[in-house]
Amino acid sequence: MLQPRLKLVDLDNHDVRRAYKRWAPVYDATFGKVVEAGVRQTVALANKYDGRLLEVGVGTGLALPLYKPSLRVTGIDLSPDMLQRARERAAKSRLRNIEALAEMDATALSFPDRSFDITVAMYVMTVVPDPEKVVHEIARVTRPGGVAIIVNHFSVERGLRGAVEKRLAGFADILGWRPEFPQDALMVSNKLELIQVRPVRPFGFFRQLLFRRLP
């Protein structure tokens, strides 16, 4: 069931680029260590499928060496600083299945409709200025019968964690991501059928959502 559009804390592309210019030099050694297990878990799921894969928000390219060689991988990111590290990682690992690593706005992908068999977006939706548009773009560029995998932090309403997320929400522009972000914010496309939800390591703080692209 589609959900009504939810009011989220505003971010813009300038906020995101500024935040990840600061984060890029230390990302792998900090947040990268937190998400490493989740990246491996998600890539293992993506590797069950075949064809062309788009990674939205490829960042520093943590996942790139983990995709099976038969997948033809394209990665996009808004941050040129993060992309530079992704390109260096791909070159160092001598990856031959990378079709492109491009600077691009996830709310306005330049790819034709139905371009990819698998679309992956890990730890991205709390960062982008308009997550609803990103979901619609993911649906547009994924072929019918293909899959979309979204991994993200989703906020809770109650308890200590809920209180902390609400308090941090006012600093979203400084952090470069939204601490307060409900899962319902992504249930906006009638072309994507949610078929599986799983907790992501470590601690289940993140969730992995698997969608099937409908005709």
C-beta of residue 3 within 8 angstroms of C-beta of residue 132: no
Q: Residues 2, 156, 21, 98: is their CA dihedral positive or negative?
A: negative
Q: What is the mean pLDDT of the chain?
A: 83
132: Cβ–Cβ under 8 A, 6 or more apart, which residues?
Answer: 5, 185, 188
Spatial separation of the C-alpha atoms in residues 161 and 193, rounded to whole Å: 29
List of residues 6+ apart from 180 with CB closer than 8 A: 8, 9, 155, 165, 166, 168, 169, 172
Distance of alpha carbon 105 from its chain centroid, rounded? Answer: 12
Is 70 exceeded by the pLDDT of residue 17? Answer: no
Residue in 56, 65, 178 with CA at minimum distance from that of residue 129: 178
pLDDT band at 3 (very low <50, low <70, confident <90, very high): low
Which pLDDT does position 154 carry in this prediction? Answer: 82
What is the mean pLDDT of the segment spanning 82-96? 96
56 pLDDT exceeds 60?
A: yes
How confident is the model at residue 4, as a pLDDT?
Answer: 43
Copy the structure tokens of residue 164.
């902390």
Residue 172 has pLDDT above 50, yes or no: no
User: For residue 74, what are the β-bridge partners?
Assistant: 54, 100
Q: Tell me, what's the pLDDT at 148?
A: 98
CA 113 to chain centre: 19
* Burial label, 123 (beta-carbon count in 10 A; 0-12, 13-18, 19+): buried
Reference 64, options 42, 95, 34, 109; nearest CA is 95
Q: Which residue has tokens 């939706």?
A: 125
pLDDT per residue as tens digits for the range 155-170: 545 544 444 444 444 4
What is the length of the chain?
215
Please check the confidence at residue 50 and state whether its pLDDT lies above 50: yes
Q: Which of 22-36, 146-160, 174-188 has the lowest mean pLDDT?
A: 22-36
| pLDDT > 70? residue 209 | yes
